[in-house]
Structures are given as C-alpha cells and as structure tokens.
Amino acid sequence: MGRLNGKTAVITGGNSGIGLATAKLFVDEGAKVVIFGRDGSTLDRAATALGPAAVGVQGDVTHVEDLQRAFGLARNRFGKVDVVFANAGVAEFRPLEMIDNAHFTRQFDINVKGVLSTVQQALPHLNNPASIVLTTSGVNKIGLPMSSVYSATKAAVRSFARTLSAELIGRGVRVNAVSPGYTETPIFGRMGLSEEQIQGIAADALKSVPLGRMADPAEIARVALFLASTESSYLVGVEIDADGGQTSI
Ligand SMILES: NC(=O)c1ccc[n+]([C@@H]2O[C@H](COP(=O)([O-])OP(=O)(O)OC[C@H]3O[C@@H](n4cnc5c(N)ncnc54)[C@H](OP(=O)(O)O)[C@@H]3O)[C@@H](O)[C@H]2O)c1
C-alpha cells in the first residue's frame, strides 16, 4: 500500500529537478498529482512520463489566476487537495554591487510571494487534514557569497513554515519545510553564472558538505514524501535539513 494512496497532491515546479523527482515518488506512492510550471515542453514531457495519475498545468506562481486554475483542476479531476508541495523557485547569484531592482524583485516575487500565493490559493480546496511542504534552502542559515537576495527569500519561506502553521493548524493543515543542500538539478544552469563559476560552486559544494557529494533530487523527494504523508503527523512548523550535514556539523 502506497503512503499516499487516494491522495491528491499539487506540486509547483513539478516539471523539473526536485519537484519532478517528488512527483514521480508521489505517483509511485499512490497519489494523483498536478504538476505546475511555466515551461510547456518540460511540463508535457514530465506529465507523459508520470502517466495517467498526473496532469500538467502550465502557469506562473506570480499569476494568481494560474494557481486558481491549477487547484481548481486538481479538485475537479482528482478530489480535494491533501498535499501541496510549494517548491517552485529560482536562484540568481550576484555580488552585492551587481544587485539591481529586477534581480531583487524577480526572486522575491517568485520565491516568496509565489509561495504565499500558492498556499493562499490552495486553501479553499484543501482537505482536513492536509499537509503543505515548502522548499527552503540550506543557504538561509549560512553566509554564502553572492547569494544575499536568494538566501533572504529562503529565510522568508522558512518563516512562513512557522507563521502559516500557526494560522492553519486549526483547519487541520500542517506546514513544514524541506531544506535541500546542493542538489543536482537544472537550477545551476539557470543562475546567470558562467560555466567556470558553476564549476567553482560544485567544487565548493564538495568541500563544504560532510557527505562529500551533491544530493540526488530523489533524496530530497523522500524527505518531501515524509513531510507530506501521515508518517510526519506530529511535525508542525519544522524545517528538515537535507544537506549532507552542511549546516549541521
Ligand atoms: N538544486 C539545489 O541545489 C537547491 C538547493 C536548495 C534549494 N533548492 C530549491 O529547490 C526548489 C526546486 O529547485 P530545483 O533545484 O529543482 O531547480 P529547477 O530544476 O530549476 O526547478 C525549478 C522549478 O521551479 C519552477 N519555477 C520557477 N519559477 C517559476 C514560476 N514563476 N512559476 C512556476 N514555476 C516556476 C520551474 O519551472 P519552469 O522550468 O517551467 O520555469 C522548475 O520546475 C527551488 O525552490 C530551489 O530554490 C534547490
């Protein structure tokens, strides 16, 4: 018996990286899954690979009406929503001198307001009980150069895990976060960095991670599954560090 049998899940950023690995695991565990992302071609490919238990909805977390469409479709097609994985995010690394309004606004709009909007738009469609899992990042606890804006967005999301928990607990909704460390996903190619800088980050990752390697997205997905399922029934407002020990030892 799957750990999410009969459950309906919505995963933002479900067409790539950690979100896609989580969508695969959720489907394997018996869930019906709506994956949500901007890129129509990766979304179609992912939905096809996931099979009939999944459907893709193209949209942007900064557009409330797109989120409304996704949650409406999830409910109509699969039933009330039991799990939300608010995972979509972008990472842009820049030195302080190079930060401009667009760099700041883009990341806060997607990573912070996008998460808040995702949870807001989920509310009318949520079951009782339900589980919401947010994706933070290990960088919200350390001082990684060039990551000031991105890290601040993830610190805000970590705060949401606490505040939204406090607000929603009376409705049977648990909110928790998974905090990945360096994880092998397409995100590194989208950071606005040169190949050399990306290699530098990879080398740094190996030095700063006690386990000595990056995570496979499936390893983060297993933490998201734990938080999504009743196996974590007594966890509320916590952040689980899935970072090979980087921020703990
Ligand atoms: N990989 C790491 O080392 C790492 C470490 C810590 C935390 N994280 C966090 O993990 C989450 C997933 O990242 P990933 O590593 O799996 O990277 P990824 O492969 O680049 O995936 C990011 C996902 O977010 C979606 N997304 C971005 N902006 C969006 C928007 N405005 N509206 C809707 N969807 C949007 C992307 O969809 P489109 O492609 O369609 O835009 C994509 O599916 C992010 O929140 C990231 O900050 C990653």
Cβ of 244 closer than 6 Å to ligand 1, yes or no, is no
Catalytically active residues are: 150
Question: What are the pLDDT digits (tens) for 40-77?
Answer: 999 999 999 999 999 999 999 999 999 999 999 999 99
Cβ of 179 closer than 6 Å to ligand 1, yes or no, is no
Cβ of 182 closer than 6 Å to ligand 1, yes or no, is yes
Q: Order the strands of the 173-180 sheet from edge to edge.
A: 54-58, 32-37, 8-12, 81-86, 126-135, 173-180, 239-242
- Distance between CA 189 and CA 199 in Å, rounded? 11
pLDDT the model gives residue 184: 94
**Sequence spans of domains, the chain:** 8-242
- Count H helices and E strands in the chain, helices first: 8, 7
What's the topology of domain 8-242? Rossmann fold (3.40.50)
Q: What is the mean pLDDT of residues 129-149?
A: 96
Q: Is the model's pLDDT at 106 over the cut of 90? A: yes
- Distance between CA 243 and CA 190 in Å, rounded? 21
Q: Ligand 1 center to residue 88 CA distance, Å?
A: 5
Confidence of residue 111 (pLDDT cuts 50, 70, 90): very high
Provide the pairing of β-strand 8-12 with 81-86.
parallel
**SS3 (DSSP) at 64:** helix
Mutate to test the pocket of ligand 1, among 185, 190, 209 (most ligand atoms within 8 A of CB): 185
pLDDT the model gives residue 192: 81
Cβ of 185 closer than 6 Å to ligand 1, yes or no, is yes
pLDDT the model gives residue 200: 83
- Residue 61 CA, chain-centre distance (Å), reads 12
Element (H, E) at 179: strand 173-180
Confidence of residue 242 (pLDDT cuts 50, 70, 90): very high
pLDDT the model gives residue 202: 82
138 Cα nearest atom in ligand 1: 6
Torsion sign over Cα 229, 239, 96, 207:
negative
Q: Ligand 1 center to residue 18 CA distance, Å?
A: 7
pLDDT the model gives residue 215: 97
pLDDT the model gives residue 136: 98
Cβ of 15 closer than 6 Å to ligand 1, yes or no, is yes
Residue nearest to atom 41 of ligand 1 (CA): 38
Question: What are the pLDDT digits (tens) for 177-227?
Answer: 999 999 999 998 898 888 888 888 788 778 999 999 999 999 999 999 999
13 Cα nearest atom in ligand 1: 43
Provide the pairing of β-strand 32-37 with 173-180.
unpaired
